[in-house]
Amino acid sequence: MTIHAKNFIAGEWVEAREMAPDLNPSNTDDVVGQFPRASAADAEKAIAAAKAAFPAWSRSSIQERHDILKKIGDEILARKDELGRLLSREEGKTLAEGIGETVRAGQIFLFFSGECLRLAGEKVPSVRPGVDVEITREPIGVVGLITPWNFPIAIPAWKIAPALAYGNCVVFKPADLVPATAHALSEIIVRAGLPAGVFNLVMGRGSVVGEAMLRSRDVVAVSFTGSVATGRKLAATCIESDPMKKVQLEMGGKNPFVVLDDADLKTAVECTVNAAFFSTGQRCTASSRVIVTGGIHDRFVDALTERMKSLVVDDALKPGTQIGPVVDQSQLDQNLSYLKIGRDEGATLKAGGELLNRATPGFYMAPALFTGVDNSMRIAREEIFGPVAAVIRVKDYDEALAVANDTSFGLSSGICTTSLKYASHFKRNADAGMVMVNLPTAGVDYHVPFGGRKGSSYGPREQGRYAQEFYTTVKTSYTLP
Ligand code: ADP
C-alpha cells in the first residue's frame, strides 16, 4: 500500500506542491508513500493558526485536555501492531522494536493525560506582612517540535503530549526519513477533538520548515532532538531571535559501558549486544565505548564475539530478524567511513562490519566490534550512530571511571559489576544524565526524566513531570488583599 499524504494546517489536511518519496530501508524497491515537502509559507500558516488558537486552548479545561490525550493514547495502543509495522517498514527497526516503540508512545500520551490533572502551583508566606505569594505555571504559547528519524513515534509523543497537556499549541516537523509514522500519529491526534490550529503537522525539510519556525516571532519555544551540529546552530538562532526563544536540545552520546573483573559475564555480554547493536545502534543512548578491566577483558571479548555470530541481520519485518538495516545510504556511508577511520587509527576490527546481501535491496551491515581502542581515537570520541562498538582496555575501576567520563557527551553511562561499592561510587560519579547498573545504557522508563549533560543535552529535561519545566512558564504573584 502506498500512502499519499498531506500536511495538517489550521484544522485542515492541505496538499503540498512538492512531494518526496519515502523508501523502505529493508527494500528500497518498496515505496512507503509520497509525502509533502512543505514551503516556508506553509510553516508560517501553521504558526499563525497555532497563535490564533492559543488564547482559547491555553484556558481549556484540564478535563478536556485529559480526555483528548487519553483518547490519543488509547487509539495508539489499540492499533500498536499496524502502527508498529508501518514504523518498522519506513525506519528499519525490527517489528518487535517498532511495536514496542508504539506501545511506549501510547503510554506517554496516557501518562500526560494524567499530568493534565496534576498540574499545581504553590501558595507560600510572604516576607512582608499581609501579602499573599502564589507561584503558578502557565502555558508558554506556540511551540515548534523538531524530531529525528530514529524514534519516529516515541520522540514525537514525548514532545507533543506534554506540549498539549500544559496548554500549548504545536507545530510539529518530523524528520524527512520518517514521515509515514508522523502522519499516522497526526491522524490519531487530529481525530481526538482538538480545536483547529492547536496541532499542526508540517512535513518538510529542516532547512525550510525548521528555519521558518526559528525565524518566526510567534514561535516562543523550540524542542529539538537530532545531531549536535544542527542543535548548536538552532540554539544560537533561538537566542539571537527577538524575542529570544526558549530552547531544549537532545543530541548525541558516546555512551560508555564499564565491565569490571567481577561482572557477571553473561549480563555484560547481553547488555552490550542490546545497547550497542539492537535498533541497529541508532539510539542516542547506544553503548559505543565498552570499557573493560584487564582481568575479564579477553574472556569478555571472546564471549561477545561468539554471541555476535548468532545475531540475525535481515529485513525488519521478517520474523526472526534481530537487527534491521541501517536507515539510509548516507548513514551507511558514515558507518563504513568510521570503520576505515578506526582501522587507520590502529584499532583492530575484531568482528563484523561487512555489507550483507539479503533477498531485497537494503542497507544491511553486520554489527562491528573494534578492540585495542584508545579513548583518544576518533571512533571513541565521535558519535557514529550505527552498530559499531569500541572496546577500550583499562587496568582498574578508577581508570574505567576516568575514561567513561572523558568525553564531550554525557547522556547515559553504564556499569556491569557485582560490587555494591563500585556500583554506588559509579552512580555518584558518572558524569551523565542517566546511569545504568547491570542494565543496558539504552532503554529507559517513560515516567521519569530523560536527558544528559555536556554536549548531549541543553535546557530542561524531557519526560515525566520534569517535562513541565520546558512546556510551562512560572509566574510569581504578590497580592495585598
Ligand atoms: P539526523 O542526523 O538525526 O537527521 P539532524 O540534526 O540533521 O539529525 O535532524 C534532526 C531534525 O532537525 C530533523 O527533523 C531535521 O529535518 C531538522 N533540521 C535539520 N536542519 C535544520 C535546521 N537548519 N533548522 C531546523 N531544523 C533542522
96: three-class secondary structure by DSSP: helix
Q: How far, in Å, is the centroid of ligand 1 from the Cα of 166?
A: 25
Q: What is the pLDDT of residue 2?
A: 77
Task: For residue 460, report the phi and psi dihedrals to the nearest 5 degrees.
Answer: -65, 160
- Nearest CA owner, ligand 1 atom 13: 175
How far is C-alpha 479 from the geometric centre of its chain's CA atoms? 43
Q: What is the mean pLDDT of the chain?
A: 97
Q: Is the pLDDT of residue 199 over 70?
A: yes
Residue 250 has pLDDT above 70, yes or no: yes
Domain with CATH 3.40.309.10 in the chain: 255-437
Phi, psi at 361, each rounded to 5°:
-75, 120
The residue whose CB lies within 8 Å of the most ligand 1 atoms, and thus the one to mutate among 203, 213, 230, is 230
CA distances from 292 to 98, 373, 394, 414 (A): 32, 11, 6, 12
Question: Is the pTM above the cut of 0.95?
Answer: yes
Q: Residue 135 is placed in which grid cell? A: 507561584
Which residues fall within 8 angstroms of residue 190, CB to CB, at 6 or more apart?
8, 199
Q: For ligand 1, is residue 207 a contact (CB within 6 Å)?
A: yes
The span from the CA of 315 to the CA of 360, in Å, is: 8
Region 41-62 average pLDDT: 98
What does the pLDDT look like over 162-195, one tens digit per residue?
A: 999 999 999 999 999 999 999 999 999 999 999 9
Question: What are the two backbone dihedrals, phi and then psi, of residue 170, each rounded to the nearest 5 degrees?
Answer: -120, 135
What is the atom index within ligand 1 of the atom nearest the CA of 331? 2
CB 215 less than 6 A from any atom of ligand 1: no
Q: Which CATH class is domain 3-251+456-479?
A: alpha beta
Give residue 3's pLDDT. Answer: 87
Q: Ligand 1: does its nearest atom lie under 6 Å from the Cβ of 148?
A: yes
- Give me the mean pLDDT over the 379-392 stretch: 98
> Is 284 a catalytic site residue?
yes
Q: Which tens digits make up the pLDDT trace of 107-157?
A: 999 999 999 999 999 999 999 999 999 999 999 999 999 999 999 999 999
> In the chain, what is the greatest distance between 2 CA atoms, to the nearest angstrom?
79
Separation CA 166–CA 467 (nearest Å): 10
Q: How many whole angstroms from its chain centre is CA 439?
A: 19
Question: What number does the ligand 1 atom closest to the CA of 205 have?
Answer: 16
Nearest to 198 by CA among 185, 181, 186, 208: 186
Q: Where in the chain is the domain with CATH 3.40.605.10?
A: 3-251+456-479
Instruction: For residue 37, give the nearest of 175, 142, 160 by alpha carbon.
Output: 175
Q: Residue 1: pLDDT band by 50, 70, 90 thresholds?
A: low
Nearest residue to 471 via CA among 267, 247, 190, 253: 247
101, 284, 462, 469: the active-site residue:
284
Instruction: Find out if CATH 3.40.309.10 is the number for domain 255-437.
Output: yes
Convert the pLDDT of each residue in 208-229 to its tens digit: 999 999 999 999 999 999 999 9
Find out whether 264 and 270 touch, Cβ atoms under 8 Å. Answer: no
Q: How far is C-alpha 197 from the chain's CA centre?
A: 25
Catalytic residue among 115, 250, 383, 462: 250
Cβ of 211 closer than 6 Å to ligand 1, yes or no, is yes
